[in-house]
Amino acid sequence: MAKKRMFAMKVIDSDAFIEMPLPTQALYFHLCMRADDDGFLNNPRKIMRIVGAKEDDLMMLLDRRFLLSFENGVVVIKHWWMHNVLRKDRYHETQYIEEKSSLAIKENGAYTENVDQMATSWQPKGNQLAPQYKVKVKDNNSIRDTICPSQGSGPSEIQKVVDAWNKLPVSHISKLSGSSKRAKMLKCRIEEYGIEDVLKAVESIARSPFLMGQNNRGWMITFDWFVKPNNFPKVLEGNYLDKDQSGKEVNRMSDEEFAALAAAHEGADEW
């Protein structure tokens, strides 16, 4: 693996990056320094602990898509090939071939999960190496945040979820277009888990102080974050609920408390 890494000012000087807390920015730099020559890592939480960062910092990098994640815990630096060019004699391909094959590279050098966007054929300058491959996705199910097998859920089920979401004291959804990415992701979650579990997950959000913004970054759950394939099961399984040492949920929000929160949020800006 190459010992040196570079950073593109176009990325780190962007408002999206600069506006993140300094610990989050620092974690990003540490992850980039330790990534393999294709930008992949299998231990982001270990690095997070080593440098004293918090779970919120890692979550923000994922939520703002400076990192892309896979179900096995591997992550990849989204803008890796915008940052780096490597000499041919120093480049070693990642061991995460399956994960790499599920990605494409956009013309600007950023990884994307969009299977319709094939990788650009790059031309190296001098003895510098940039990706020179085209992506062939074996199974569309590997990109579950944009495509799922049948998407047979109907408009009524979609509306049930929207109605349940809009009862939460978070940013509301005014309308879901059936062709939008967020609608497709929601359909996939309904296909995978069933409408009852999706509604159950939505209703559980109000009982999670963490998801409702009571964390040291002030981060609050969004609908786009909720319907992503790596995030949804964590909400459904109660990973963000306050629990005692026995694993039982504590501080459950009462119906009256929830109603008060919902009433206080009425009139908030919709998406």
Decide which of 253 and 88 is more confident. Answer: 88
Percent of the chain with pLDDT over 70: 72
Q: What is the pTM of this model?
A: 0.47
Q: What is the pLDDT of residues 169-226, one digit of tens each?
A: 888 887 776 667 888 889 889 988 899 999 999 999 999 998 988 877 788 999 989 9
pLDDT band at 125 (very low <50, low <70, confident <90, very high): very low
Q: Any idea where the domains of the chain sit in the sequence?
A: 9-139, 155-265
Burial track 237-267 (b if 16+ CB lie within 10 A, e otherwise): eeebbeeeeeeeeeeebeeeebeebeeeeee
Indicate the pLDDT class of residue 253, thresholds 50, 70 and 90: very low
pLDDT in tens, 11-42: 999 999 999 999 999 999 999 999 999 999 99
Per DSSP (E only), the strands in the chain are 40-41, 67-69, 75-77, 86-87, 104-105, 111-112, 128-129
Token pair belonging to 259: 């109603």
Q: What is the pLDDT of residue 114?
A: 53
Could you tell me the sign of the dihedral formed by the alpha carbons of 177, 181, 186, 188, in that order?
A: positive
Using CA atoms in the order 44, 28, 69, 203, what is the torsion angle rounded to 10 degrees? Answer: 100
- Give DSSP secondary structure letters for 146-175: T--S-----HHHHHHHHHHHTTSSS-B---
- How much is the mean pLDDT over the chain? 77
The whole-angstrom separation of Cα 101 and Cα 135 is: 6
* Closest residue by Cα to residue 189 from 221, 230, 237, 142: 230
| 32: Cα within 13 Å, side-chain hemisphere | 23
- Judged by average pLDDT, the poorest of 2-6, 39-43, 93-97 is 2-6
Q: What amino acid occupies position 13?
A: D
